Amino acid sequence: MKTTYSRRDFMKFMGLSSTAAFAVLPTIANAKVLPHIVIVGGGFSGSTCAKYLKMWGGSSVDVTIIETNPTYVSPILSNLVLNGQKTTNNLSFSYGNYSAKYGINMIHSTVSSVDKSNKTITLANSKVVKYDKLVLAAGIDFDKVSDYDISKVPHAWQSRDGINTLKTQLNSMRDGDTFVMSIPASPYRCPPGPYERACVVADYLKNTKGYSNCNVIVLDANPKIIVEEQTFSTVFARYGVDYRPNSTVTAVDDTTKSVTYSNGGVSHTLASTVLNVIPNQKAAPIVFETGVNSGSWAPINPLSYESVIVSDIYIIGDSQGTGQPKAGHIGNSEAKICADAILRKLNAKPLYTSPKTNSACYSPTSKTEASWLSAVYKYDSATQKMVLASKDAGAPSTKNYKKMFLWSGNLFADTFA
């Protein structure tokens, strides 16, 4: 039997603790029935969006996050789990204080379908939730390479289980063993992330484990290192990483830990001790289920992040298809533009026409050094697209390693606290 949550049910759970009611809200602030904004996904983009909707919209909006997991584990900094500098507990965020502080309703369940005509969503337990505006902030999904067990060959690109499994496998390597990893075709989550991982693993084997005969082989589906080329090629050369561009994984054997890949039309098979295949990526399953994708990603209006396919559905974070990087820092930026746009739309106000977003990635290249990469995007009214306005990068250093924790601490606090 289906249970339907009404707006009134949610009101029971709402606090009045929002800090800054948005100044332009007299119309909906006086309304008796609050607009209900439902956000699917409590990661970097979803949690930021909910928080800012309540900070700016105050008690004029009813905001609910539906998130599968009771705790979020940040993929940001997760490569440091591999070399023992962090644990997944260090990177975990729970929602209790956050939701109470901002008056956000939390439901821990998985959204299995969206009824666009009736504006309802159905949860895995068959419960139905009504929405006025729906924000899909559900991250990514992976293309299938071949049938294999990801608990034996983890991508470690999304969940705590994967990164901990990969760490255990890495710890069991002995001198002379081979670590093989693959890099997906762009676009994918966190452009520098896989290159960063190869550096961290090579440093760990050489300088922490003290192994001088291990091989680290990187199969890159892209024709070259796609970001921070100078930085990563220098570090790869320092550690003797065997980097193979134009190498697309075509099959994986989880028993023998061998991988088959195509390079220039020729098929090769490599044996390994530890195999880390990061498959090609696409928008989260719920984006496809809702039918707001075009190809692998979801096209949106960059002034609001509203779908260009279905109105009142917004897509933020890694699932959106604007060509901006798929990263948590910029997901946090997109979430604020989306929150502002939703509040404007509810108040029949025009959208802000000059949004800018900012992306930042710090990449540990060893247990003491990190590089960084940053970019600013702005709305171009002629093409109606987000275009690159400026970018900068910093080479690996111990100073940048320390700054990485200041940057991530600020991002985590702005998102989850």
Ligand X SMILES: Cc1cc2nc3c(=O)[nH]c(=O)nc-3n(C[C@H](O)[C@H](O)[C@H](O)COP(=O)(O)OP(=O)(O)OC[C@H]3O[C@@H](n4cnc5c(N)ncnc54)[C@H](O)[C@@H]3O)c2cc1C
Q: Which is nearer to ligand X, 325 or 355 (CB)?
A: 325
Assess contact for 60 and 36: CB atoms under 8 A: no
Q: How far is the CB of 327 from ligand X (least distance, A)?
A: 3
Q: Which is nearer to ligand X, 183 or 252 (CB)?
A: 183
| Binding stretches for ligand X (CB under 6 A) | 40-46, 66-69, 72, 75-76, 78-79, 110-111, 137-139, 157, 189-190, 193, 284, 286, 317-318, 326-329, 331, 361-362
Q: How far is the CB of 68 from ligand X (least distance, A)?
A: 4
Residue length of the chain: 417
Q: How far is the CB of 43 from ligand X (least distance, A)?
A: 2
Q: Which is nearer to ligand X, 155 or 344 (CB)?
A: 155
Q: Which is nearer to ligand X, 28 or 138 (CB)?
A: 138
Q: How far is the CB of 183 from ligand X (least distance, A)?
A: 12
Q: Give the tokens for residue 192.
A: 């520098």
> CA 5, CA 107: separation in Å to the nearest integer?
11
Q: Would residue 326 be called left, alpha or beta, if left means φ above 0 and alpha means ψ between -120 and 50 degrees?
A: beta
Q: Which is nearer to ligand X, 25 or 330 (CB)?
A: 330
Q: How far is the CB of 413 from ligand X (least distance, A)?
A: 15
In sequence order, what are the residues at sequence separation of 6 or more whose Cβ sits closer than 8 angstroms to the Cβ of residue 361?
A: 190, 191, 192, 193, 325, 327, 329, 372, 373, 374
Q: How far is the CB of 77 from ligand X (least distance, A)?
A: 7
Q: How far is the CB of 293 from ligand X (least distance, A)?
A: 14
Q: Which is nearer to ligand X, 25 or 52 (CB)?
A: 52
Q: Which is nearer to ligand X, 41 or 58 (CB)?
A: 41
Closest to 77 (Cα-Cα) out of 202, 163, 179, 187: 163
Which residue number has the CB closest to ligand X?
Answer: 43
Alpha helix stretches (DSSP H) within 190-266: 193-203, 229-239
Scored b (16 or more CB within 10 A) or e, 25-48 reads beebbeeeebbbbbbbbbbbbbbb
- Residue in the block written with tokens 């994986």: 252
Residue 398 burial by CB count (10 A; 0-12/13-18/19+): exposed, middle or buried? exposed
Q: Which is nearer to ligand X, 42 or 58 (CB)?
A: 42
Q: How far is the CB of 16 from ligand X (least distance, A)?
A: 27
Assess contact for 319 and 187: CB atoms under 8 A: no
> CA 244, CA 268: separation in Å to the nearest integer?
12
Largest CA distance in the chain: 70
